[in-house]
Structure 1
Amino acid sequence: MNLRLNDSLLDTIDLRTTPLHLGLGCRSRPVEGFAFEPAALEAYADAVADDGREGRLVVLIDEQGRGSHWERHPGGEEVIVCVSGAITVVREIDGEVQEVTLQAGEATVNPAGVWHAVDTAGEARILTITPGPGTEHRAR
């Protein structure tokens, strides 16, 4: 896996292709070579293990339609911001499905350990601030 935490922040960072890791000591580092696939997620978790539960992954995602999977973050809360378009965050809490719809500029917080998915009404851009290590996925 060719994942690298880059200590140089002087260049432009395209959050759609290169997430930003926020770590201990208010440190920010681009995560080059990141992908939403098992090997890259494992490499990321290993690379930022020293940050423990305090580390966060900042990602900008362009989405359209129904989310393909459920996920949860046992390690902490996740912030989801609707940058453009409209999104619906679907959560499973105590066996019940709950939905919250966000318009551009609005955000919500997913509690630690809660299964959730994101659906969009057309094209949407989403910013997430996620406790990366320990994240779990399942088919929807």
Structure 2
Amino acid sequence: MAEPKQPGFDLRSTYLHLADAGDALQIEVKPTFWQELMSDEPAGADIRRVKRVDGWLVTRFHMAEDTPRWEMHPAGDEILYLLSGAIDVVLQDEGGERVVALRAGTACTVPQGVWHRMIVHEPGDFLAITFGKGTQHRAV
């Protein structure tokens, strides 16, 4: 077997932006990543690309507590895949609130334009694939 020429990467510290044009940009996650992404003028070229180029952001998170705010993606769906733990995804739409119970190895789709948040029953990791252009937040 051939020796690997480059190491793999960890999706907790390196996110991927999958552009509609077909390329996958690796983005080093710095402490200011989310603050820059939500700002009007992010400093980093990679974060400016995420804001301005249509595509999907692939991330991995560890969840130890409930999310402190609602989130909504007006431009596209979000896929959440729970790798470990037990987390409920609360979806809020015209019909009211509904809960999707995620357990290790299960996934759900958060539809475009639907407010959502997460309630942690058992800390765990999840993979998020988000068409996040224009993402909005509001208090719980």
Task: Report TM bin, short chain.
Answer: 0.7 to 0.9
Distance 1:68 1:95 in 2: 22
Partner secondary structure for residue 84 of structure 1? coil
Higher radius of gyration, 1 or 2: 2
Distance 1:137 1:56 in 2: 18
Structure 2 CA distance for partners of 1:71 and 1:119, relative to 1, 3 Å: same
Aligned amino acid, residue 82 of structure 1 = L
Any gaps of 5 or more consecutive residues in structure 2? 1-5
Partner secondary structure for residue 46 of structure 1? helix
Aligned amino acid, residue 29 of structure 1 = L
Distance 1:58 1:11 in 2: 19
Counterpart in the other structure of 1:21? 17
User: Is residue 58–residue 129 contact of structure 1 (8 Å, CA) maintained in 2?
Assistant: yes
Q: Under a length normalisation based on structure 2, what TM-score does the superposition of the two structures give?
A: 0.82
Q: CA RMSD in A?
A: 1.8
Matches within 5 A, 1:54-65: 55-65=55-65
Q: Under a length normalisation based on structure 1, what TM-score does the superposition of the two structures give?
A: 0.82
Any gaps of 5 or more consecutive residues in structure 1? 1-9
Percentage identity across aligned positions?
34
User: Is residue 75–residue 131 contact of structure 2 (8 Å, CA) maintained in 1?
Assistant: yes
CA apart distance, 1:13: 1.7
Partner secondary structure for residue 26 of structure 1? coil
CA apart distance, 1:29: 1.2
